[in-house]
Amino acid sequence: MNAIILSAILGVVLMFTGIFTTNKSTIRAVAVGGMLLLLLANIAELRGMQFFDINTRGMLVFSKLGLLFNSIAFGATLLYFLLSARDVLEVGENGADYFALIFFILCGVSIVSSFNSLLLLFLGIEIISIPLYILTGSDKRNLKSNEASLKYFLMGAFSTGIMLMGIVLMYGARATFSIDPTLQIANAGRDVWYTSGLMLLFISMAFKVSAAPFHFWTPDVYDGAPTVFTSFMATIVKAAVFIAFVRLFEFSYSNSGYDWRLIVSVVIAATLLIGNITAIFQQSVKRMLAYSSIAQAGFMLFALFSYNALSKEGIILYSLGYSLATIGVFAVLIKMKDYTFEGFNGLARTQPVLAATTTIFLLSLAGIPMTIGFFAKYFMLASAVKTGTYLWLVILAIICAAISVYYYFRVIQAMYFKEGAGETVAISSVFRWLLILVAGLIILFGIFPNMILNYLYF
Amino acid sequence: MVPVLLILIPLLTGVALFAIRQEATAKSIALFSTLVSLAVMLAGMSVWNDAAHLSFNQPWIGALNSRFHFELDGMSQLLCLLTTFAFPLIIYSTWNNSYVDGNRFFGLMLLSQAGLLGVFMAMDAMLFYFFWELALIPLYFLCSRWGGEKRVQVTIKFFIYTFVGSLFMLIGLILLYFKSGGSFAWADYVKLTLSAREEMTIFILLVVAFAVKMPLFPFHTWQPDTYEQSPTAVTMILSAIMAKMGVFGLLRWLAPVVPAATYQWGDNFATLAVVGMLYASFVAIKQDDLKRLVAWSSIAHIGLMILALFAPSYSGIQGIMIQMFNHGINILGMWIVVNVIEQQFGTRKISELGGLAQKAPVLTILMLIVALANIAMPLTNAFIGEFMMFNGIWGSTATKFGMIYALAGIITIILSAVYTLRMVQNVFYGPTNERTANATDIRLNVQIALAILVVGIVLIGIYPKPILSMTTEISQQILDRMNLK
């Protein structure tokens, strides 16, 4: 509850900051300070301190999973602000408003991580989506940005319609919006409604996490949006929708049996193959990262597929590892003058720190041991192996992981083994130290994943 | 205590070297660090040779029940001795090679040493996998940064090959984890009883990783290119030590863990090994590049070890153990010679060399002993190892075709004499040409390095008992697990 209320208030505060001052460093300070406050408030709730006592009538349930995820999302956003806040202000004239929109998105994030009613899920998803449409189009004079925004909005509106239809069907079948099966009234003969409703919800959520075959918007939108916002969209927002996805399906296995696995496994296989294979052929690192984010979504979908204790731990580690590494890569990408692979040529010579940390981020995305990306993938694969079926899917996943090495390492090859100038814009030493911090966290959690997982239980 | 030191010394020095700018200082520190590791290893085999010093066991990832569990049993001691012994020699014998950003080169070398030592000592499957990859990453950067012309394409192929193998192994280890009721401990795995189908699945998943690493025909295509394109110091690590990771994996994590499937698949893999040995030997005869020649000969020699494992017997397994060590030091000797030749003449083509014996007698004598060890002449160490393996393969009760395998294998010994001696003849004897006319003899550091290896070759060739007695226990354990004598 702390996070939901505070993030909404902070959003309003930032809007007003924009009215009273246009001083960029003030706006940045307010945003970073607010983010820190939000993170602390959420950690306080994780440790059992509620600042607000509001009766939500069971529509919100604040579980350890949701609160821990909030902390990860807020922590990642804090790092994102520290690394890229300057670039956010560079996008256009309404700097403070961008931060306000991000805080509103975080409000939506904290709703979808704790919803217990389909209405709240809908509310949360919409609170996340609408500011995102604006952020995507925030580079007003850039045609690609406008196109991306419109595309995203139209497709998003469609998926919202499908989601609503699903929710209505499920309401009709169970006479409640609650996802808790104990509150639902099993209505004989209406299981078909329920299953079709769930299916529609699945489709609209799959759209939001860019799972194949609902991924077509992703490359264009990620490519067209200003790079700073792509970074935020591809990490924190995507992970949040995954948490919602996992919560939504928490009870669906008990409701509709394990037949779900067939559908989910097909979606996983398609997502992994399309994401990984298309990423190989990209010439722009930004577009490659867009496809790689589809591929990573394929791995995160394993949490839905297997649904056991391991997959819960896995989705937490995956959110953290994927967010840290992707925010890091994008922060470096923003500083590059040329977004193609050739633009990275020789970066190790001109900017050794950037090259070394980017290498660690990419190794983590590829899932090499000693980085958190390894444990993220490990838990996902282990959870799937534990189900005892569908070994082919696991084999397919590791082959795709090997394919991903190819395109992630292309960047490393460009930076270290090719000749070039590796031109970047001016880089402050604070930025370098922050990158080292993020890389250090990736390695630290990569050796001791317990440091995060313990919070799920204690 | 000893395991922790063995990993921390190269790891910390390796990281520290990145901060030291001068190449010469970095090189000296690296050499010193590897010598300290060797000293620790030797102490572990003499004064600290007791359970308290040789094992380390602490919790690591509680949620997974995985532990930092290192232990130096006989086989680990043997391979760690090889690693700690080879590294100082590699650095010392290539002392005059110079590298751009030399500090990073030596830093990465030491990091790979830490990874390799970790692989050989890990008794926890998760830890094993961790170090398995940790050894690979620095080598990837070493080959791609300091290698030959085609290094970038070649090393990404090498990396993806081994990475796919590792991932298959990871799935196999996850399956084992669930089948053993949530344990990563090797000690639990060797007590498991699995159904035939489960063993089969796990066997296939695990064997891919080891087959790529050794490499076993037909998973070998990355190897000659990578050996050729890597800087020679790195090729030494790849062939003298990293190839042993695969054989070690078979002996530690495959045969005793899934014995029935190993037995069942024995003939298939033994046949692959024989085919690979013959194929690699024939290809080696046609090579003109010294590095490629040694690379292919290495595939043939490793093939024999694989054969001895899949047609097992006590003598054969003991033969593999001693031969892992022998092959390590013999091929190291070969690479040192190749490096000397390449540094002096700027070419590795056999056809462009000749008559070195007149100009470099010391090199020739030392080289000849190494070459004879490569073809397993009596009185050299390889004779002991290969004789024991052939003896074991012939008499193996696990297969009906032991005699055929042994006979086919012996052909490869003859072929190895053909390509090794042809190389010696063309490079060292005959008339000199304009390239070799002004050749000089080798420097003192190479003389010392080669002399140490030659002493080792002859000593083990005459008195192999200390090494054989190190591994009696583990060899017996593997055979007991496979229900064989």
The DSSP-derived string for B87-102 is HHHHHHHTTT---TTH
Mean pLDDT of A380-401: 89
Q: Is pLDDT above 70 for A229?
A: yes
Shortest alpha-carbon distance between residue A257 and chain B (Å): 23
H helix or E strand, kind and range, residue B68 = strand B66-71
pLDDT value for A133: 92
DSSP 8-state symbol, A61 = -
Query: B393 to each of A334, B203, B301, B308, B388, how far by Cα in Å?
Result: 61, 21, 15, 6, 9
* Token pair recorded at residue A247: 């919560």
Mean pLDDT over the full length of chain A: 88
Tens-place pLDDT, residues B62-115: 777 888 888 888 889 899 999 999 999 888 888 888 888 888 888 899 999 999
Question: Whole domain around residue A397: which residue ranges?
Answer: 259-458
Contact across the interface for B130 and A406, Cβ inside 8 Å? no
Shortest alpha-carbon distance between residue A111 and chain B (Å): 29
Contact across the interface for A369 and B61, Cβ inside 8 Å? no
3-state helix, strand, coil in chain B (%, to 5): 75, 5, 20
Q: Is pLDDT above 60 for A255?
A: no
* Token pair recorded at residue B272: 């692959």
DSSP 8-state symbol, B443 = P
A378 contacts in chain B (CB < 8 Å): 170, 174
Angle, nearest 10°, between helix axes B444-462 and B314-345?
160
Smallest Cβ–Cβ distance between A406 and the set B133, B151, B160 belongs to B160
Q: A253 in a domain, yes or no?
A: no
Shortest alpha-carbon distance between residue B165 and chain A (Å): 9
pLDDT value for A162: 94
Smallest Cβ–Cβ distance between B63 and the set A369, A402, A450 belongs to A450
Q: Is pLDDT above 70 for A37?
A: yes
Mean pLDDT of A366-380: 90
Beta bridge mates, B71: B55
Q: A62 in a domain, yes or no?
A: no
Q: Are A274 and A294 in contact (CB under 8 A)?
A: yes
Smallest Cβ–Cβ distance between B144 and the set A385, A398, A416 belongs to A416
Contact across the interface for A381 and B174, Cβ inside 8 Å? yes
Least confident of A114-128, B160-174, B186-200, B345-359: B345-359
pLDDT value for B104: 85
Q: Which residue has the tokens 């090959």?
A: B161
Residue B22 carries which side chain, given as an amino acid letter? Answer: Q
pLDDT value for B95: 82
Confidence of residue B223 (pLDDT cuts 50, 70, 90): confident
Q: A442 in a domain, yes or no?
A: yes
Q: Is pLDDT above 70 for A341?
A: yes
Is any Cβ of chain A less than 8 angstroms from the Cβ of B455? no
Tens-place pLDDT, residues A416-435: 888 887 777 888 888 899 99
Contact across the interface for A394 and B151, Cβ inside 8 Å? no
Q: How many CB pairs under 8 A join A and B?
A: 68
Measured CA to CA, the distance from residue A117 to residue A127 in angstroms comes to 15
Q: Is the ipTM of this complex over 0.85?
A: yes
Contact across the interface for A413 and B177, Cβ inside 8 Å? no
Tens-place pLDDT, residues A81-127: 999 888 888 888 888 889 999 999 999 999 999 888 889 999 999 99
Q: A144 in a domain, yes or no?
A: no
Mean pLDDT of B278-306: 90
Measured CA to CA, the distance from residue B29 to residue B33 in angstroms comes to 6
Domain count, chain A: 1
Measured CA to CA, the distance from residue A414 to residue A11 in angstroms comes to 41
pLDDT value for B484: 63
Is any Cβ of chain A less than 8 angstroms from the Cβ of B160? yes
Q: A149 in a domain, yes or no?
A: no
Contact across the interface for B156 and A386, Cβ inside 8 Å? no
pLDDT value for A253: 59
Tens-place pLDDT, residues A116-173: 888 999 999 999 999 999 999 888 888 889 999 999 999 999 999 999 999 999 888 8
* 3-class SS of residue A345: coil
Q: Is pLDDT above 90 for A439?
A: yes
Smallest Cβ–Cβ distance between A402 and the set B62, B141, B163 belongs to B163
Q: For residues A411-440, b (16+ Cβ closer than 10 Å) or e, as one string?
A: bbbbbbbbebebbbeeeeeebeebbeebbe
Measured CA to CA, the distance from residue B383 to residue B474 in angstroms comes to 22
Q: Which residue has the tokens 């939000």?
A: A38
Smallest Cβ–Cβ distance between B144 and the set A313, A381, A417 belongs to A417
* Termini Cα distance of chain B: 35
Q: A169 in a domain, yes or no?
A: no
Q: Is pLDDT above 80 for A258?
A: no
Q: Is pLDDT above 90 for A370?
A: no
Smallest Cβ–Cβ distance between A417 and the set B62, B133, B152 belongs to B152
Give the number of other Cβ atoms within 10 Å of residue A182's Cβ: 6
Q: A397 in a domain, yes or no?
A: yes
Is any Cβ of chain B less than 8 angstroms from the Cβ of A405? yes
Least confident of B237-246, B290-299, B356-365: B356-365
pLDDT value for A268: 92
DSSP 8-state symbol, A341 = G
Query: A12 to each of A103, A445, B81, how far by Cα in Å?
Result: 9, 35, 66
Mean pLDDT of A12-16: 91
Tens-place pLDDT, residues B417-443: 999 988 888 888 888 787 777 777 778
* Token pair recorded at residue B43: 């102490």
* Token pair recorded at residue B148: 């030959």
Written as one string, the DSSP assignment of A99-163 is HHHHHHHHHHHHHHTTB-BHHHHHHHHHHHHHHHHHHHT-STT-HHHHHHHHHHHHHHHHHHHHH
Confidence of residue A452 (pLDDT cuts 50, 70, 90): confident
Q: A266 in a domain, yes or no?
A: yes
For chain A, what's the residue count? 458
pLDDT value for A188: 66
Measured CA to CA, the distance from residue A210 to residue A458 in angstroms comes to 33
Mean pLDDT of B136-165: 87
What is the dihedral angle through the alpha carbons of A25, A31, A37, A43, rounded to the nearest 10 degrees? -130
pLDDT value for A257: 62
Best of B66, B112, B174 to mutate (most A CBs within 10 Å, chain A) = B174
> Between A241 and B54, where is the model more confident?
A241
Shortest alpha-carbon distance between residue B145 and chain A (Å): 6
Q: Give this prediction's pTM.
A: 0.91
